[in-house]
């Protein structure tokens, strides 16, 4: 049972490294024959608990945290930008952008001014 779960985690991780994002249907397609559907939830909890993924609440798509982080950092590369402009430059929801900004701010990699301007 645990071996199947770890194999599913690895399939999800590999698929996310290739595409950066998986839809709900694409995730279900990764569940092997004979594996219980609950394994998908367990695998996602495992990856989420290790801060490897972000789940978009609006459509249940799963995003590799590293891809979202890189997208945010790329948008900040040329100088300070407002939160609205940053959200427009990234291919994910503003909620996920804010999650990543929180991590980056705690790590000391960015600064968010009181007027919502983000800079590195």
Task: Tell me the per-residue pLDDT of 11-62, one tens digit each, with 9 for 90 and over.
Answer: 999 999 999 999 999 999 999 888 888 999 999 999 999 999 999 988 889 9
Residue 58 lies in a domain: no
Whether 44 and 23 map to the same domain: the answer is yes
Structural domain range at position 106: 66-119
Residue 29 lies in a domain: yes
Whether 77 and 114 map to the same domain: the answer is yes
What's the CATH code of the domain at 81? Answer: 1.10.10.10
pLDDT at 30: 94
Residue 93 lies in a domain: yes
Decide if 79 contacts 89 (C-beta within 8 A). no
> Which whole number is the average pLDDT over 108-118?
95
Residue 34 lies in a domain: yes
Structurally, how many domains does the chain consist of? 2
pLDDT at 1: 47
> What's the per-residue H, E or C state across 46-80?
HHHHCCCEEECCCCCCEEEHHHHHHHHHHHHCCCC
For residue 87, pLDDT beyond 50: yes
């Amino acid at each position: 049972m645990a071996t199947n779960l770890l194999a599913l985690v690895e399939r999800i991780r590999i698929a996310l490294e290739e595409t950066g994002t998986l839809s709900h249907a694409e995730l279900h397609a990764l569940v092997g024959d004979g594996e219980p559907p609950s394994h998908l939830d367990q695998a996602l909890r495992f990856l989420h608990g290790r801060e490897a993924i972000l789940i978009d609440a609006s459509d249940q798509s799963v995003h590799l945290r590293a891809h979202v982080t890189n997208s945010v950092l790329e948008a900040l590369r040329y100088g300070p930008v407002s939160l609205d402009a940053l959200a427009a430059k990234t291919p994910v929801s503003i909620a996920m952008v804010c999650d990543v900004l929180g991590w980056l701010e705690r790590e000391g990699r960015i600064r968010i001014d009181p007027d919502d301007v983000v800079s590195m």
